[in-house]
Structure 1
Amino acid sequence: MPPRSHHVSRIGAAVAAFLMLTAGATVATTGTASASASASASASPGSTVADIVELLPLSTSKDRRIVDSQGRDMLLRGANVNSLGEYWQGVPKLDPTIPVSEADWERMAAHGFSVIRLLITWSRVEPTRGTIDQGYLDEVDAYVRSAAEHGMYSVIDMHQDAYSAFIFTTDPADCPDGTTPAKGWDGAPAWATLTDGLSTCLTNGERNSSPAVNRAWNHFYDNTDGIRDRFVATWGAVAKRFAGRSEVAGFDVLNEPENPKPAGELAPTYNEFLAETIGSIRAAQANAPFGQLILIEPALPAGDQSRGLVIPDPAAVNLDTTNVVASVHNYSESIENGFTIEGLNEVVDGLTTVIGVPNWGGEYGFWDTGPETLVKARRYATDEDRLAWGGAWWQWRQSCGDPHTLQWIDGKVVSPAGVEVHLNKQECPANIDLGPNDAFLDILGRGYPRATPGRITELRSDPDTGFLSMAATAPKPGGELVVWTPTTADSTHPVETRNLINVAETEVPGGRLITATVGSAGDYRLWVGPVDEAPAAPASPSGPAPTSGPSAPSAPPSGPASTPSAPTPSNTSATGRASVPLPPKFTG
């Protein structure tokens, strides 16, 4: 998640120095076909997304795509949900999280979500060493079922920030000059938080920079007292609970793991840790009819950028990458990291090409709705479409008691006055629900193909007009295409197709689901709105100049996506007072 301060983002300087050694590759080509058809509107008022879509088992393909059991190209798009995480409660009267309501689930579905990234916390899964809290997993199960009832997969994410909720400063007077008191965060249980009594004070303001957090990470990787073994076993218990559940897309091994030592020293240990955890998950699924996706992330030198980034290397530990997915969090231009949005995406695409796995953006997001920010958010959407990637916005809603919001001020932990701007808004410190953030939801909820027979070759979707253009190619006829559009069946948004038959539109809350069958093997197309068979070439991405390897363009993309086309939402709260967006400091 994003923090609230001015540090260099996790994938920042270290990425510039390391990742740019790999050249990126795009996946956008065009396709046409001969047969032409218009959609027959078969509106069914009262239908829901879950009435139309089936959450089939997911896997990875040899060409680095996430596919379902019918081989369809799947785009998983939605948001992070942190309601079940166990965060440090720095202000006793403010809960760090807010439960998801039925209205929330309905609103997610009405914006076309096909997935949630569901945060869980080791400290709640195994609060007592060796004992799995099945009651907590019941809560997780209930969220998974609720998401599925609204047509959404769940990616279960073992979340942490700054290692644990149990490392925090109690008396800021204990912090030497040049250091600052630390908040607690989330992650490991108290019994697995080994700090050797070192200082909790931050040496550079970044939440992982305290000696205590650094020591706790080293003990974890070194498997002191078997704590890493317990983490691996805990994942086995979670995977066993959800084995054979197709509505669970997969498991994110560990959110934004920290690198507490030089990358060259940690890399062998980190790769072994990933292999052990993935082995535990796969063993728990051995008797299931299918395996689920397993998402892995780089180890980030957030506390000290000089340590370098640790990129997972499955080959180093003979790890089979079947169903393994990279999950890189692209906060470029929302938190400074030296990259453009498009530039980092290109780097990630090149890196995952080398490793041989797909990428899914487990976190990204912005925290104000000013004109410049909305331009960036639209650019992110445009590039996500260009690459035909999925991802999860950080985040659905953030409590005023979340550590991301809380600050040490004048020797006390407080929730500053202002507005937490996420996909929903909260006025702080009173935790007043200001309702949905339409400026962001309209961008995230733009039209896209949920399930595509064959492979997507082109995707362009305009969140302002609702216009959509997609092309794909299928190896055989007969597969079913499923497309979400937030538009109604009107004269401005007709559905036109090439090489698709049995085209049908179903009204659902928030828009329509369009289904169609591929008429014959080869290319096919679908438009919502004007037919445009000759799109302009995508803009070139840009990023920081690499220290070695191929050069990167320096100019950001231009065109319609670079200019705001909607009025800026007001920053006036429900109480009528002018409100100030609270600045982000840390990623999720």
Structure 2
Amino acid sequence: MKSVRRPVVALATTVILVALQAFLDPTGLLALVGWSGALPALDRGLWPLAPYVVFVPVLLVTVWWAALRAGDRYWTLVAGVVLAVVLAQAVTCLAMTGDLANSAWAAGYVTAKAVPAALLVAAITRLFGGRTEKTRTTPGAVIAPALLFAATAPLLAGQWWTAVVYAPGVPVARPDRGIVSTLVAVVLLAAITAVCLRWMRARVSGVLGGWLAALVGAAAVGLVQAVVALIVEGMPSTDLWPLMSAYVAVADGVSFGACLGWVAGVGAIAADRLAERGMRRVPLLAAAVVTVAALVVTVVTAVAPARGTDSAASVPDGFLRAEGGVITDGDGDQILLRGANVNQLVDFYAPNPDVPVTTPLTEDDFAQMAAQGFNVARLGISWSALEPVRGEIDEDYLAQIVAAVEWGGEHGVRTVLDMHQDSWWNEGTPESEACRAGTAPMWGYDGAPGWATITDSAPRCQFEGRDISPASDRAFQNFYFDTDGVQSALVETWARLGAEFADEPAVAGFDLLNEPGFGETAPVTTSLQLGRFYDRAITAIREAGAPQIVFIEPSILWSGLGFDTGPAVGFTDDDNIVFAPHLYAESITMDRALGITPIVGMERQFALAQRAADAYGYPLWSGEYGYWGEQPDREARLTRYAALEDEYRIGGAYWVWKQACGDPQNGVQPIGDGLIIQDCEEDGWVGPNQGILDILSRAYPRSAPGELTSLAADGASIALEGGSPSRSCGLDVWVPGSDEPAVVSEGLSDVEVSAVDGGWTISGCADGAYALTAGASTP
């Protein structure tokens, strides 16, 4: 009979570790079970209590089982504790959301917490758990359970292996990635799991032995995938992406093994029992049947027609729309939207009441933007100002938004309405509040009204920046779970805005929520729950009659890390969507704040963003970028950024047009740090940041017949190529400067050069392939 001393030690160690982490980690980011300081919420269903009433019991029961059956050896117990943590997270997420596929996949992201905890628990158990008996037995069945486990992967792929880390060429067991990729991944998973089964089953008996073998095998496949990705994407020299890529791949493997490894465990026991009865071929036959089923699913998926789009048919003339991978005008022309963010209507926190947080927004702002060649403004608006009282739209504030849209339209500048927020709402740490060790008092920023801010008394304190605050994390968590209907309220507000601008083609689209926070249970919140909100808001906007593009963002993690999971593909049936991450690589990302090598370099972030957009089937647009430190650094990095923006033939909005001296993001200083620089000491304007504007105002095609195939520009020089399946006269190329550009074209007719405020436009018609160069020299 097994001694209970080891499981008792393992259990006690786990309990102490959970308690210490909850006490020492004020953010919950590193703790197995975090406690933000929020008061218990007993009236909201299971989700607020799930980390305590679901995670902890599942964790402790599984740790006991692992220590009892796998505790004789250090490494087998390590695997057992990892299994316990990941399995507990999966069950907890399932209890919170009711979504099995997302919960199982999301559990893998606690691997970074699970492994250190497992190493510690196993070490202490080894030291104080008493004598061990390292016996070995015959491994038993290996091939059949390994094949059975591997064949379940394409059948139950769910959300596994969908992240941007899986570059083309990396084998993944997803039918939608093609027959070759799926087959290679299944064979790889079966082979590695078979090796692990032979080793593990000789040391750990019963179902647990097969389960742990599957866990380790799937994690090892993740490492192989990471190596393949490194080969496919090239050896990096400027960023830490291979490490992050490896972590995500291993995390997927760990969660897959934790959630479905019981298939290998049960299969191995069943195979042994059948072998004892002389029925050795039955397990292999069963595994073969499952494998054939997996291959059939893969083939059917591979030959199924691609998801179509009906965007063009449903959007009225004059409105922009998303068609396939580009933004178009509905007349056969690709549109590039390039401009700046405008924050002059944002309801910011005022660090110093005597220093204004915004500058007035006037028609002249749009005239100046047009003179720079900009054709879009991402206009930040604040829910707190729009709906200060629940259910009541502030008509004066709405009138300011309407005026801004009209001014933009008069100057050829379309507007993207951006529901802006930073750290959820615009209140800072109360003077009476004491922050826990490891956090610090913070300013407020902007976003939701007070009535939609439910923090459950979690402290308004920050850890390494505004976006890691227990209060804002809890507020986001309550938003995602629609506590007191706050999410429903924002959905209704979007419906009101949709109705207001349904007939306004000057509105390019609606950006539903700026840099959504991760709450307390990412990536469930940043994928499943965020996608649910987006789907509800999109539906409400369409029901209100608004046909414009909807711009969807991944969470703040994309800005902070350089990539993110984002809502799952298929989160909405609507096709008039643009994927709009914020491409801040090498800027305000976490790595730069810590002074380490970039996690994701600028060039790689563009590739990852395009990969994600392609997976959705949406066009890519950069909703924010900039903030690269001192002026020489800004210009050097922006030059690289501009070249990449042209290479990928996309648009975006620079942060920011004007920034007041009291803007909390500006830090309260004598200079307003925007494209148009304010001198607060002299109460005037220094003028434009010409070095930056020279790069942003470079030549580009605002509209191009058909679709662009190449683009490069430098100042007033531009070279582009494209193709139009039918005759279109939609060419509109902006060229800055006072000198009329010399134009050389091929495949274009009726080419004209016209003077406009700030520069020139080149128009023309195309039918088929075309090319154009303009300016002093070819870029």
TM-score normalized by the length of structure 2? 0.57
User: Superposition pairs for residues 569-588 of structure 1, below 5 Å?
Assistant: none
The superposition leaves residues 178-218 of structure 1 with CA deviations (integer Å, 9 ceiling, x where unpaired) of 3211101111101111112221121x231122221111111
Cα deviation, residue 263, structure 1: 2.6
**Partner residue of 1:324 out of 567, 577, 590:** 577
CA distance in 2, matches of 1:441, 1:371: 13
- Specify the code of the residue in structure 1 equivalent to 2:446: D
Is residue 480–residue 516 contact of structure 1 (8 Å, CA) maintained in 2? yes
Which of 401, 408, 420 matches 1:147?
Answer: 408
Instruction: Find the aligned partners of 2:494 and 2:700 in 1 and give their Cα distance.
Output: 33
The amino acid across from 2:503 in the alignment is G
Q: Secondary structure at the match of 1:477?
A: strand
Instruction: Confirm or deny that 1:183 pairs with 2:443.
Output: yes
Describe the SS at the equivalent of 2:328.
Answer: strand
Deviation at 1:478, TM superposition (A): 3.8
Deviation, structure 1 residue 320: 1.7
The Cα shift of 1:512 comes to 0.5
Larger RCO (CA within 8 A; separation ≥ 6): 1
Correspondence for 2:568 among 302, 313, 327: 313
Partner of 1:263, secondary structure, is: coil
1:219-298 aligned at under 5 Å gives the runs: 219-266=478-525, 267-285=527-545, 291-298=547-554
Cα distance in 1 for partners of 2:626, 2:387 equals 30
Deviation at 1:369, TM superposition (A): 5.3
Matched ranges for 1:340-355 at <5 A: 340-355=601-616
- Secondary structure, counterpart of 1:479 in structure 2: strand
Deviations 1:288-316 (A, max 9, x none): 6xx100011112349998xx94411241x
Q: CA deviation at 1:135?
A: 2.2
Q: Map 1:75-94 onto structure 2 (within 5 A).
A: 75-94=336-355
SS at match of 2:643: helix
Please list, as runs of the form range in 1=range in 2, the aligned pairs for 1:16-55 lying within 5 A after superposition.
18-23=163-168
Alignment correspondent of 1:585 = none
Provide Cα deviations, 1:468-526, integer angstroms capped at 9, x if missing partner.
11111111224331110003444xx31111121211111111100111122xx321111
Q: 1:23 to 1:348 in 2, by over 3 A?
A: farther
Partner in structure 1 of residue 105 of structure 2 = none
**Structure of higher CA gyration radius:** 2
Q: Verify the 8 A CA contact 1:400 1:429 in the aligned structure 2.
A: no
Aligned to 1:218: 477
Contact 2:366 2:413 in 1 (8 A): no
Kept after mapping to 1: 8 A contact 2:501/2:507 = yes
How far apart in 2 are the matches of 1:187 and 1:282?
Answer: 24
Q: Which residue in 1 is equivalent to 2:703? A: 451
Task: Quote the Cα distance in structure 2 between the aligned partners of 1:190 and 1:506.
Answer: 51
Q: Which amino acid aligns with 1:524?
A: Y
The aligned runs of 1:409-448 (5 Å cut-off) are 415-417=668-670, 419-427=671-679, 432-448=684-700
1:334 is matched with which residue? 587
Q: CA deviation at 1:97?
A: 0.8
CA contact (8 A) 1:457 1:471 kept: yes
Structure 1 match to 2:322: 60
| Alpha-carbon spacing, 1:177–1:428, altered in 2? closer, same or farther (3 Å) | farther
Kept in 2, the 8 Å contact 1:256–1:297? The answer is yes
Secondary structure in structure 1 of the residue aligned to 2:473:
helix
User: What is the distance in 1 between the residues matched to 2:764 and 2:559?
Assistant: 50
Task: Indicate yes or no: 2:733 matched with 1:471.
Answer: no
Change beyond 3 A, Cα 1:251–1:229:
same
Question: How far apart are the structure 2 equivalents of 1:301 and 1:529?
Answer: 40
1:495 match = 743
Closer, same or farther: CA 261–436 of 1 in aligned 2, 3 Å: same
Q: Structure 1, residues 443-482: CA drift from partner, whole Å, max 9, x if none?
A: 111001111111101111002xx21111111112243311
Q: Residue 154 of structure 1 aligns to a residue in which SS?
A: strand
TM-score normalised to structure 1 length? 0.75
Name the CA distance, whole Å, in 1 between partners of 2:777 and 2:464: 52
CA contact (8 A) 1:118 1:155 kept: yes
Of residues 634, 638, 641, the one that matches 1:373 is 634
Q: Distance in 2 between matches of 1:352 and 1:180?
A: 37
Aligned residue for 2:164, secondary structure, equals: helix
Counterparts of 1:559-578 in structure 2, within 5 Å, are: none
Equivalent residue for 2:417?
Answer: 156
Which segment is superposed worse, 321-330 or 205-214?
Answer: 205-214
Q: Is the 8 A contact 1:416 1:429 kept in 2?
A: no
Separation in 2 of the partners of 1:293 and 1:260? 27
Amino acid at match of 1:522: G
Q: Contact 2:363 / 2:404 at 8 angstroms: preserved in 1?
A: no
Check 1:500–1:398 CA distance in 2 against 1; reply closer, same or farther (3 A cut).
Answer: same
Give ranges in structure 2 of 5+ residues lacking alignment: 1-111, 113-161, 170-231, 234-316, 593-597
Pair 1:173–1:139, CA change in 2 (3 A): closer
**3-state SS, counterpart of residue 525 of structure 1:** strand
The offset of 1:163, in angstroms, is: 0.2
In structure 1, how many angstroms separate the alpha carbons of the residues matched to 2:521 and 2:728? 53
Residue 641 (structure 2) pairs with residue 383 (structure 1): no
Q: Is the 8 A contact 1:395 1:423 kept in 2?
A: yes
Structure holding more helix per residue:
2
Using a 3 Å threshold, how does the CA distance of structure 1 residues 173 and 240 change in structure 2: closer, same or farther?
closer
Does the C-alpha gap of structure 1 residues 446 and 369 become closer, same or farther in structure 2, counting only changes over 3 Å? farther
User: Structure 1 299/334 Cα, relative in aligned 2: closer, same or farther at 3 Å?
Assistant: closer
Structure 2 CA distance for aligned equivalents of residues 145 and 272 of structure 1: 32
Look up the equivalent residue of 1:474 and give its one-letter code.
Answer: S
User: Could you tell me how far 1:436 is from its partner in structure 2?
Assistant: 0.7
Residue 135 of structure 1 aligns with an amino acid whose one-letter code is D
Shift of 1:264: 4.1
Aligned position for 1:512: 760
Which of 736, 740, 765 is the aligned partner of 1:486? 736
Contact kept, 8 Å, 1:321 with 1:357, in 2: the verdict is no
CA contact (8 A) 1:125 1:132 kept: yes
Whole-angstrom distance in 1 between the partners of 2:679 and 2:472: 31
**Alpha carbons 2:662, 2:669 under 8 Å: kept:** no
Cα distance between partner residues in 2 of 1:482 and 1:511: 13
Alignment partner of 1:402 is 2:663 = yes
- Report the counterpart of residue 155 of structure 2 in structure 1: none
Of all paired residues, the percent bearing the same amino acid is: 37
Query: Which residue does the alignment assign to 1:207?
Result: 466
One-letter amino acid matched to 2:165: M
The Cα shift of 1:425 comes to 1.6
CA distance in 2, matches of 1:292, 1:357: 14
Relative to structure 2, which stretch is displaced further, 362-371 or 422-431?
Answer: 422-431
What is the match of residue 90 of structure 2?
none
CA contact (8 A) 1:400 1:430 kept: no
Higher strand share: 1
Alpha-carbon distance in structure 2 between the residues aligned to 1:241 and 1:198: 36
1:221-273 CA distance string (max 9 Å, x none): 11111111101000000111000211100000100000112334323222211
Q: Paired residue for 1:299?
A: 555
Partners of 2:674 and 2:660 lie apart in 1 by 10
Letter in 1 for 2:566: I
Equivalent of 1:523, from 759, 764, 769? 769
Structure 1 partner of 2:389: 128
CA distance change for structure 1 residues 428 and 172 in 2, over 3 Å: closer, same or farther?
Answer: farther
Equivalent AA in structure 2 for residue 76 of structure 1: L
Q: Is the 8 A contact 1:169 1:201 kept in 2?
A: yes
Q: Deviation of residue 94 (structure 1)?
A: 1.6
Query: Pick from 614, 617, 620: which aligns with 1:359?
Result: 620
